[in-house]
Structure 1
């Protein structure tokens, strides 16, 4: 192995890349290494995982306050934000949230039975439905909004407008990259017998 941090000798490309302390690198792109080490990258991933778990916990709290699960709350809010005059379809909600259409159909059915969503046939395709938040659902979301604003302001307290814009762009890019990575992981880990 080449003695530079995080590099592999050119004569043996199959050799595992390692840092100077012998730890296998978890990334190879130079942009993700600091002095040839992946420690900062690993800290970033763990910070993002911790952040994600806190967001999930807050979402569960919002949902619980309305008598819903976290994902039901998220679907309700998503319908509220995406509906136009005629409503929004299951497929659009599923794509927005990165969930399967079948799962969204099941969860929206529960919200309809609770009186928080309404559905009607899509006039342009009678096989599909359009969802809208009911007046009861809108009232519940409006009652939650003051607490939601305060909590969301606290979560993102460290951002100024420039940082917020950059984060919004980066989050969208990271989501696309994560989708590609998940497909790659499904392929690579199935090929290697899930031993990685």
Structure 2
């Protein structure tokens, strides 16, 4: 029986599965046909990824065995442990950036120097997560990686439909009561 995986570990496993899916797409593409990774692919901890609660189902549907899950868990626990200090450092860097922008005079040189530090920190985290995803790809079979990629594609398509339905529902609500319209998003004002 596999013990319950913590939320950060689950998020790392999801990030890895997406990375593995990208690797499987790359393996199937001709050289130079690889699309760029999504901009949120390396977001700290992967917590922006939709669908992480279905991670267990995703792995199950891909035919991942308990032994493979144990290996994946070990890989991502190691990555999580390696990145623990990164979270606090990142928080401190972002607090410093906020302080720079709330100062009476903004020091452009200090902002740029801090931006470079933040970028370097993100690069370290990105590299560590990429190494974990490579290790994970070696645990999974090519068929499992392709299945995960297909399942993630299906999830994205479902999400697109939900977002489209949500937008239509919102439009319908706006026209329903002209005396009490739904407020426009800030970006549309």
TM range, smaller chain: under 0.3
- TM-score, normalized by length of structure 2? 0.27
Instruction: Tell which has more relative contact order, 1 or 2 (C-alpha 8 A, sep 6+).
Output: 2
Structure (1/2) with the larger strand percentage: 1
Structure (1/2) with the larger helix percentage: 2
